[in-house]
């Protein structure tokens, strides 16, 4: 009976308890491990409203992407991807997470490009925004420069009007330029004294606009030396300038009816070296002691060396350059100086050709208009601080003259 009682108590107690295993091996631990092995969901996209468009007012080859940031959602960075004409996708750029615009440049015009923007957070990527597409193209007209186009058309119209007036025979007034008016006197003085005329066309080549202007004046000087029978010397420091100078002098002597007086060797090459050329020209001045010296063209540090030597030999000197740093030396040491644009106006002043005169007058009128606009704009901006109509005028001028 006692044995049967013990068996009954054992059955009532149920199965024997299993020994405890190591930590983390129970039923709860196995469930946690299964949950950890499941992939984590991707982060929420931080970009919305992605749009692509061709960049406006450009030369082509660029597309602008823009988007908005989702409130409350942040991203470490943004990945911009691109596909051309439905081809493979490639990474274009990595941007900071706060960026809202991106311009893709160096594209081919006429090709459709598709884009997506993916948010990256902690190494995980969100669902990409997009795709969106656009086609880059070039624009013929810059919409923000329309005002300058209108001003250019108006000023060109003024210039062409003066050219037309010159062609019709209208007398166009140009103020007297003392240095050019003295050309005849300088050559005549050299003829009376029986001494030569020295013409120095600067130290630059024929690709310099001042040298071109100097060659035009050389034709006038050569014509006067041919007419008066004076000797003309033209030392140059560039072989191309030498060839051009020889042809200009030859043509001037032919036009004056004195082809027999032309000597090709009077236009000669010295050296390309700046101060070597200056030393050679100074030697000519000291040995030949010319009565008239013309220094017209581009000059640099050698300007004062030449001008002082010419003054020391007692020559009448006519100089001209558009180099602001050299003008003070010419003004101090020479009898006449062509300042800046006076050198370029010489062709119209000396030839009196109607088209050149009309162009010169038209440019002067255009400069006057520009100066008036500047003065009116400054006054309007100043008065506009307390008078609204003036402020409106200043804003209008600012819009049409502003260039981006």
User: How confident is the model over 290-299, as a mean pLDDT?
Assistant: 95
Measured distance between the N- and C-terminal CA atoms of the chain, rounded to whole angstroms: 112
Residue-level pLDDT at 228: 92
Cis peptide before 171 (omega within 30 of 0): no
Residue-level pLDDT at 25: 44
Count of CB atoms within 10 A of residue 389's CB? 10
Tell me what the pLDDT averaged over the chain comes to.
85
Domains and CATH numbers, the chain: 47-134 (2.60.40.10), 142-173+359-404 (no CATH), 178-344 (3.40.50)
pLDDT tens by residue, 7-59: 344 444 444 444 444 444 444 444 444 445 555 677 778 888 999 999 988 88
Longest dimension (CA), the chain: 167
User: How confident is the model over 181-203, as a mean pLDDT?
Assistant: 92
Cα-based torsion angle of the residue sequence 11, 15, 17, 22 in order, rounded to the nearest 10 degrees:
180
Residue-level pLDDT at 37: 52
- Strand blocks (E) in 190-346: 197-200, 232-236, 267-269, 292-296, 316-321, 336-339
Alpha carbon of residue 378 to chain centroid: 26
pLDDT tens by residue, 303-335: 999 999 999 999 999 999 999 999 999 999 999
To the nearest whole percent, how much of the chain has pLDDT over 70? 89
pLDDT tops 50 at residue 267: yes
Residue-level pLDDT at 304: 93
pLDDT tops 60 at residue 233: yes
Alpha carbon of residue 187 to chain centroid: 43
Provide long-range contacts, Cβ within 8 A and 24+ apart, for 204-211: 204/238, 204/297, 204/298, 205/238, 205/240, 205/241, 206/238, 206/240, 206/241, 206/244, 208/297, 208/298, 209/344, 210/297, 210/298, 210/321, 210/322, 210/323, 210/343, 211/241, 211/297, 211/298
The encoded tokens of residue 78 equal: 């943004």
Answer for the pair 357, 166: CB distance below 8 angstroms, yes or no. Answer: yes
Please give the DSSP secondary-structure letter assigned to residue 116.
Answer: E
Dist. CA 126–CA 81, nearest whole Å = 13
Dist. CA 322–CA 168, nearest whole Å = 32
Alpha carbon of residue 339 to chain centroid: 25
The encoded tokens of residue 307 equal: 């001008």
Which of 192, 212, 185 has its CA nearest to residue 344? 212
Which of 122, 133, 27 has its CA nearest to residue 84? 133
User: How confident is the model over 253-260, as a mean pLDDT?
Assistant: 92
Dist. CA 133–CA 54, nearest whole Å = 10
Answer for the pair 220, 228: CB distance below 8 angstroms, yes or no. Answer: no
pLDDT tops 50 at residue 179: yes
Dist. CA 201–CA 303, nearest whole Å = 12
Number of H helices, E strands in the chain: 14, 14
Residue-level pLDDT at 3: 42
């Amino acid at each position: 009976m006692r044995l049967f009682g013990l068996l009954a108590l054992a059955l009532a107690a149920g199965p024997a308890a299993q020994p405890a295993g190591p930590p983390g091996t129970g039923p709860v631990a196995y469930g946690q491990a299964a949950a950890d092995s499941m992939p984590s969901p991707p982060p929420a996209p931080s970009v919305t409203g992605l749009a692509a468009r061709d960049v406006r007012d450009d030369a082509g080859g660029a597309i602008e992407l823009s988007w908005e940031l989702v409130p409350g959602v942040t991203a470490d960075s943004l990945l911009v991807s691109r596909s051309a004409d439905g081809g493979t996708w490639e990474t274009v750029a990595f941007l900071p997470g706060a960026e809202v615009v991106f311009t893709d440049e160096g594209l081919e015009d006429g090709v459709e490009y598709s884009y997506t923007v993916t948010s990256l957070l902690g190494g995980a990527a969100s669902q990409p925004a997009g795709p969106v597409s656009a086609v880059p193209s070039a624009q013929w007209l810059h919409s923000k420069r329309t005002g300058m186009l209108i001003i250019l058309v108006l000023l060109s119209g003024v210039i062409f009007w003066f050219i037309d007036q010159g062609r019709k025979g209208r007398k166009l007034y140009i103020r007297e330029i003392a240095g050019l008016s003295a050309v005849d006197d300088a050559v005549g003085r050299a003829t009376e004294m029986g001494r030569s005329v020295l013409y120095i066309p600067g130290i630059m080549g024929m690709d310099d606009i001042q040298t071109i202007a100097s060659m035009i004046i050389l034709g006038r000087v050569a014509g006067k030396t041919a007419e008066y029978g004076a000797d003309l010397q033209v030392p140059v420091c560039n072989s191309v300038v030498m060839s051009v100078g020889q042809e200009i002098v030859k043509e001037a002597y032919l036009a004056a009816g004195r082809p027999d007086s032309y000597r090709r060797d009077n236009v000669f090459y010295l050296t390309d070296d700046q101060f070597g050329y200056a030393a050679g020209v100074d030697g000519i001045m000291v040995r030949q002691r010319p009565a008239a010296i013309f220094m017209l063209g581009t000059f640099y540090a050698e300007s004062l060396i030449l001008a002082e030597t010419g003054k020391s030999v007692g020559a009448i000197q006519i100089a001209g350059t558009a180099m602001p740093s050299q003008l003070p030396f010419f003004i101090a040491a020479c009898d006449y100086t062509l300042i800046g644009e006076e050198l370029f106006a010489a062709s119209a002043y000396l030839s009196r050709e109607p088209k050149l005169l009309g162009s010169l007058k038209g440019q002067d009128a255009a400069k006057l208009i520009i100066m008036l606009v500047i003065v009116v704009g400054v006054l309007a901006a100043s008065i506009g601080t307390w008078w609204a109509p003036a402020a409106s005028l200043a804003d209008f001028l600012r819009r049409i003259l502003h260039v981006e």
